[in-house]
Amino acid sequence: MLEVIKNRRSTRKFKDEKLPKEIIVEILKAGLLAPTSKNKKPVEFIVVEDKETINKLKECKNKGGNGLDTASCAIVVACDCEESDVWVEDASIAASYMQLQVEKLGLGSVWIQIRKRFNDNGDAENQVRNILNIPHYYGIVCVLAVGYKAEYIRKYEDNEIDVSKVHYEKF
């Protein structure tokens, strides 16, 4: 598992190659199996493969969405805010699990932050909800841009792990 974590880096350039449905299902399983508060499972995913819709999602932010330029698949991570008082955490864990599964499958991904982000037209979350017809009581944490890597970033090495961030017994 540590090797998968060390290899997982944000990929923002993808090959122009569609992901097979079986691969997308494997990625989604990781998100669906992620732990949630009180095991309520309030997180839902919207898979977008249509290039025009992916571009609309990118435009929901002024900057930071360039991973969607070449992604063959975007997975919107949404959570029922009425079902979970810790929906941000629930959705974030699910998205992280999916990113690790993406790496394990030899693919790349990048987290495109949506929550608390804006563009000239306003709140990115509301725009994503409108584009994809998501109910207003769902929070949108992120969009994962996914695809076959067209760039490779070196993995983390053990000597880059900052163990000074670890404290025992007290801070």
Weakly modelled stretches of the chain, pLDDT under 50 = none
Give pLDDT, residue 135. 98
SS3 letters across the chain = CHHHHHHCCECCCECCCCCCHHHHHHHHHHHHCCCCHHHCCCEEEEEECCHHHHHHHHCCCCCCCHHHCCCCEEEEEEEECCCCCCHHHHHHHHHHHHHHHHHHCCCEEEEEECCCCEECCEEHHHHHHHHHCCCCCEEEEEEEEEECECCCCCCCCHHHCCHHHCCCCCC
Percent of the chain topping pLDDT 90: 100
pTM, two decimal places: 0.97
Give pLDDT, residue 41. 98
Write the pLDDT tens digit of every residue in 123-136.
999 999 999 999 99
Give pLDDT, residue 168. 98
Give pLDDT, residue 169. 98
Domains of the chain: 2-151 (3.40.109.10)
